[in-house]
Every structure is written in structure tokens, then in C-alpha cells.
Amino acid sequence: MEPLLDGETAVVTGGASGNGRAMALLFAEHGADVVVADIREEPREGGAPTHERVERDTDRSAGFVETDVADPEDLRTAVAAAEEFGGVSVMVNNAGITHSDDFLETTEDEWYRMMDVNAKGTFFGTQAAARRMVEQGTEGSIVNMSSFMGIRSRPDGVRYCASKGAIRQMTYAMAGALGEHGIRVNVLHPGLTETHMSMGDLAFDEDPGADWVERTPSGRVGQPTDVARAALFLASDLASYVNGTSLPVDGGRHSSS
């Protein structure tokens, strides 16, 4: 198969673990140099850091930048790090947090933390990458990460749903704002995926999200590679006429009762 991102440079926030790690590795396999931007370098699932895996297992280059996506300056630093590889052409705003809580007991600090990481991080990550793309005079692709819960809702996740719904709506507006510059902006909505963030320390061989599986037409929990392949499509020229689009990656769960 021909590489889909040959010569591109991708910045992946939250790229040390989970879905972000899978995306960074797959992008490198398809010819992209990668900047891994994360608050931690060590992957939660164990093994070598993502940027080391890229350089060990592919012929591409990679680097790591310690990044708190709630800090716009950190995001600008991560995008600037892509200059070493020729400048950012693909931005994936993947970093995020999740938490279930009691709506009546949610504090203002808890609200702002969720919005700062998920919504604010996506806004300023997109802005930083888009500014650089415009300065370079190059087209580019930005992939934002919402959630199944940015489409549907659950009563113990009001602030999480709010943050992920904001990402969906921002994506639509960003696509309109940046289209004239040849920059596409799309959003993924992963469902329950076998990562530490989504499922914590759940023993998958004992109970692989039984309730999710029962309600999902595809009959299984998602894998990080499922999300990575969808992101690869949106990042690549295969999706050159796909802009301002939401793509659920949830085995059809959003369409079921």
C-alpha cells in the first residue's frame, strides 16, 4: 500500500498513550514525521515512548514535547517543534480527560478543568497549527477528537458531554474559517475504546465493556487502531474533499437505542 502521508509532519497531542499513540505510530508507518505532544512521556500501557517507537520501527523521525494542552503557549511550542521536520501539515487535537460525576455536586474548578483541557486545548491547538500553516502557505489537515458523548449523552457525564459537544461545534465553524486557506478541519467521535482513559484498569478478558458490546451493532469494544485508521483517512489526501465533517468511530453505537 502506498504511504498516505509521505513527507508530511504531524503533531499529535496526547500521543504518548492510547488512541494518540496508535495514531502517531500509524502516521509514521504512512510516511509522516511526528511530534508527540503530551503531559507525560511514558505510555500508560507500558513499552517504549511513542517517539522512540517511531524511530525504532519506521524510517521516520519523531520528537517529544512536554505539553499541557490547557496552556496555549505549550501548544504553540509543540507546533513550533515541527519546524525541525519541515513544518506542521497535520494536527491532531487528541489529548483530553474524562470523568463521571454527580451533576448536582460538580464544582466550578472541576467544570473549568474539563473545559480547559478538552475544549480550550482543541481551540488553541487548532489555532496554533492553522496559523503556522497559513504562514507557510501550505494546505493542511486538522483532526479534532470529540467522543460518542459529543453526539449522545449520559447523566453522569454532563461536563464531559459539554466539552465534547463544544469540540464538535467548533470543528464545524473552524472548517468554515479555514477553508479559504486550504486547511481542512474534521472531528472524530470514538466510542468506548480499549484504552486506559476509556476503561481504566478494567480486565478486558473478564468483561470487555459488556454493556457497550450488547448495545453496539458491531458487537465489540473499539481498538486504538480503529480510531487511528479513521484519523489517517481524514489526515490524508483520500479525504481531500472532506471538510467540516463528524465521523463516529463507535461500531454504530450512536445509531442504536
The reply to whether 172 belongs to the active site is no
DSSP string, the chain: ---SSTT-EEEEETTTSHHHHHHHHHHHHTT-EEEEEES-SS-TT-SS-HHHHHHHHSSS-EEEEE--TTSHHHHHHHHHHGGGGT--SEEEE---------GGG--HHHHHHHHIIIIIHHHHHHHHHHHHHHHHT--EEEEEE--GGGTS--TT-HHHHHHHHHHHHHHHHHHHHHGGGTEEEEEEEE-SBSSHHHHTT--TTT-S-HHHHHH-TT-S-B-HHHHHHHHHHHHSGGGTT--S-EEEESTTGGG--
- From the candidates 112, 160, 172, 241, give the one annotated as an active-site residue: 160
For the annotated catalytic residues, the residue numbers are 160
